[in-house]
Every structure is written in structure tokens, then in C-alpha cells.
Structure 1
Amino acid sequence: MKRLAAAGLTIAAAVAASAPALAADLPQPAEPYTYNEPVPAERFDWSGFYFGGHLGWNWSDFQTNNAVTGRFNTRDNGVTGGVHAGYNYMLTPEFLLGAEADFSLSDIEKSRTVAGVNYKTSSDWNGTLRARAGWAFDRFLVFGTGGMAIADIDAAANGVSKDSVRVGWTAGAGIEGAVTQNITARVEYQYQNYGSDKFAIGGQTYKTDLDNNQVRFGMSYKF
């Protein structure tokens, strides 16, 4: 009897020890599948104040009319550079409105002798105050711009000179890209028209118009 009891206990212990291994070999229920929707990348925010500098090339065309010389042109081109500052506001995730002001120095000077008169025209600086509107493709921006322009004009006939500050208008367009979260780079074109001004020099009246065409590369820091 005792031998039977001992044998029964031995068999029961063996079965208990092998139960976990047998359970591990049995098919396990599959874990439920959970779908994690990807988080969309954050769009670049063009809103805010910015400040920067620009460098480019300026083409100037002075058109002059006088009773003695008739109508003639003095044209020059050269390097222009300066600073700009502005503010952007995103009306929608894509559409931007803003305002910008800039000031540039240039070295435009040209002389021409017509009908015995040596006439020289020059302009040392110009500035603009403009609205901007653009369409953002995340980190890239295509924009148009237009507003007021101001420049100095100097005219001289046979060594006698007069100067003036003219207010006109400007329009242009460009593209801009975000290099980092705070640094942007741009390429833009501006046409500037300053209308006509009259210079009374040496008893003669010279009517001079000024047009500028500028292509500029710039970089800005966005706050």
C-alpha cells in the first residue's frame, strides 16, 4: 500500500513539473494589432519679424531732355548692397502677407557730351517701402512685392551740379527658402521708376527720368 502511494506521488510530481513545458508548446493567442497613424511633419512657419542684408547688381537708365541737347540717355550699371527688414503673417498655412523696407547703396555715375554739353548723372542710394504677398510650399516661398521707392539723383552740366531726392514706385518678385528654422535665403528682382525731375543748370532746364532694374541675393534672420 505504501509503495502504491509513493508511486502515485512520484507520477503526480512528474506531471506537475512537465505542465509548464507542455503549455509553452501549445498555440498561443495572437496579440491584438494596433495601428499607429504617422505624425505629420510640422510645416515651416514664415510668420514673424526678420532682418537681413542683400547684395546684387543695379542697371540704371537716365533719360534726359533739353532744348539744346534734345533727348538722350545715360546708362550705367554696378554693384548694389544694403539691408532690409520686415514682417510676415500667414493668413492660411500657404498664403502670406507682409511688409518690408530696404535701403541700398550703389555707385551709379555716367557722363555724356551732347551738343557741346557734358552732362553727368549719378545716384548713390535708394530705398523702398513695400507690401509682400506670397505662396508658401512649406520651406519655399514664391512672392510678389510692390510699393514706394525713393532715391537720390544728381545731375551736372559742364561741371555745375544739382541734386534731388525723388519718390517713385517699385514692383518685383522673388523666391525664398528656409535654410534653418531662423535663416532664410532669397533671390529677387525689382523694377524701380522714379519719374522725372527738372534741374535748372547754367540757365538751361534739364528734365531727367530715372529707372532702375535690380537683381539681388539676400539672407535674413527670422525672429
Structure 2
Amino acid sequence: MKGFASLAAAFAVLTAFSAQTFAADLPQPADPAPSYPVSPDTIAGFDWTGPYAGAQLGWGWGNFTTRSTPTGKFDNNASGVLGGFYGGYNFMFTPNIVAGLEGTFDFTNLNDSSTVGGVNVKTGSDWNSTLRGRLGYAFDTFLLYGTGGLALADLDVNANGAKDSKTAFGWTLGAGVETALSKNVTMRLDYAYENFGKESFNLGGTTYKTDLDNNVVRAGVAYKF
């Protein structure tokens, strides 16, 4: 009987040891990956909402169409560098639709002269400004937009030493692309067509009528507040 009890005890010890050894050979579950808190900035798209201000530089080319009794109708074509400032406010209506209002002011160098019918006529514009609405579609940090609104420019006409100047009101339409370089800095490239209509100038008792249509391409960098 004692032999049987000893045999049973030995069998129990052997079974327990074998079970432990088998369990050790089985694949063990991997340690869970460490978790880290996720910043909202990591998962959220770029927010275009807010005010901004920047500087721009570009190229403009325009056509002055002038009419008078001594000269008849003729054109002066001018082109040159322009540069200035812009600023405005954007609002995101959805994660993709962005609308805003923007103002621009550029110094320009659009001047040309022609001698017609023995009269030397110089036409020029030294600055222009716009107040435009913007509507765009955002792909996170990339924005495609259209723009349009009011345009203003100075127009100067000089004929044989007599000079007159006017501030012309017109309209503008354009489009552009803009990208966010960081949370606060954006860069853009845009094109705009500007039409300033017809203005009358009195030069030494002679009436000259001049209208300007202008094209501009500008690159700009802005700070988003």
C-alpha cells in the first residue's frame, strides 16, 4: 500500500512538471504596444479661418486705349514690375469650403507714350488697389480659389506738356493657388484681370478719353494670425 502511495505521489509530481514545461514552450502573448497621447494638431486639418497680412511681387501688363480729336484712337501697351501688400480674413464653412474678403494695394510702373498726329501722348498708372471676395476649395494645407470685386487705379495722361490725373474705378476677376508652409505662414500665386473703364482728361482745352485694362501675376507670402 505504501508502495502504491509513493508511486501515485511520484506520478503527480511528474505530471505537474510536464504541464509546466509544456506551458513554457507555448507562444507567449506579446507585450502590448505603449500608448501615447495624440495631440489634436496631429489629426486635425489646417484651419484657414482667421485674419492674415502679407507682401507680394509680380508683373503687370496693360493696354491704354486713348481717343481725342487731334489723334483719333490709338493704343499704348505697357508692362512692368509691381509690388505691394495684401490682407484679409478667411472663414471655413466646411472642412473644404473657404470664403473670405481681401484688400490689395500695389505700386505699378505701367507707362508708355506714342506720337500720333504730331502729338506726343504719354499714358500711365502708378498704383492700383482692389477689394475682392474669395471663394475656394481646400485640400488640407492646399487651397484653390477664385476672386473678384472692385478695382481702383490712378490714370495719368500727358499730351505735349499738359497733364491730368484721375482715380478710375473698375472691376477685377482672377484665380489662384495658396499653400500653408506652417501653422502661421502661407504662400500664394495668383492671376487677376482688371478693367478700369473710360475716363476723360482735359489737356489744354482738348478732351482725351482713356481706358485701361490690365493683367497681373503675383506671388505673395503672408502671416496668418
> TM-score band (shorter)?
0.7 to 0.9
CA distance 1:28–1:140, shift in 2 (3 Å): closer
CA distance 1:26–1:199, shift in 2 (3 Å): closer
1:22 aligns with 2:18: no
CA distance 1:28–1:210, shift in 2 (3 Å): closer
Q: Work out the CA distance in 2 between the residues paired with 1:116 and 1:28.
A: 102
Q: Which residue of structure 2 aligns with residue 65 of structure 1?
A: 67
Q: Which residue of structure 2 aligns with residue 140 of structure 1?
A: 142
Q: Which residue of structure 2 aligns with residue 153 of structure 1?
A: 155
Q: Work out the CA distance in 1 between the residues paired with 2:89 and 2:29.
A: 57
Which amino acid in structure 1 is aligned with residue 168 of structure 2? R
CA distance 1:136–1:27, shift in 2 (3 Å): same
Which amino acid in structure 1 is aligned with residue 162 of structure 2? V
Cα distance, 1:61 vs. partner? 0.9
Q: Work out the CA distance in 2 between the residues paired with 1:29 and 1:136.
A: 48
For 2:47, which of 45, 48, 51 is the aligned residue?
45
Q: Which residue of structure 2 aligns with residue 84 of structure 1?
A: 86
1:100 aligns with 2:102: yes
Cα distance, 1:82 vs. partner? 0.5
Q: Work out the CA distance in 2 between the residues paired with 1:29 and 1:110.
A: 85
Structure 2 counterpart SS, 1:62: strand
What 5-or-longer segments of structure 1 have no aligned partner? Answer: none
Q: Which residue of structure 1 aligns with residue 214 of structure 2?
A: 212
Cα distance, 1:67 vs. partner? 1.3
Which amino acid in structure 1 is aligned with residue 146 of structure 2? G
What 5-or-longer segments of structure 2 have no aligned partner? Answer: none
Q: Which residue of structure 1 aligns with residue 125 of structure 2?
A: 123
What per-residue deviation string (whole Å, max 9, x for no partner) do you get for residues 34-81 of structure 1?
xx9xx9932111111111111000002110011121100111100001
How many residues are treated as equivalent by the alignment? Answer: 215
Q: Work out the CA distance in 2 between the residues paired with 1:186 and 1:131.
A: 16
- State the identity %: 46
Using the size of structure 1 for normalisation, the TM-score is 0.86
Cα distance, 1:139 vs. partner? 1.3
Cα distance, 1:25 vs. partner? 3.5
For 2:77, which of 55, 75, 78 is the aligned residue?
75
Q: What RMSD in Å do the two structures reach over aligned CA positions?
A: 2.9
Structure 1 counterpart SS, 2:21: helix
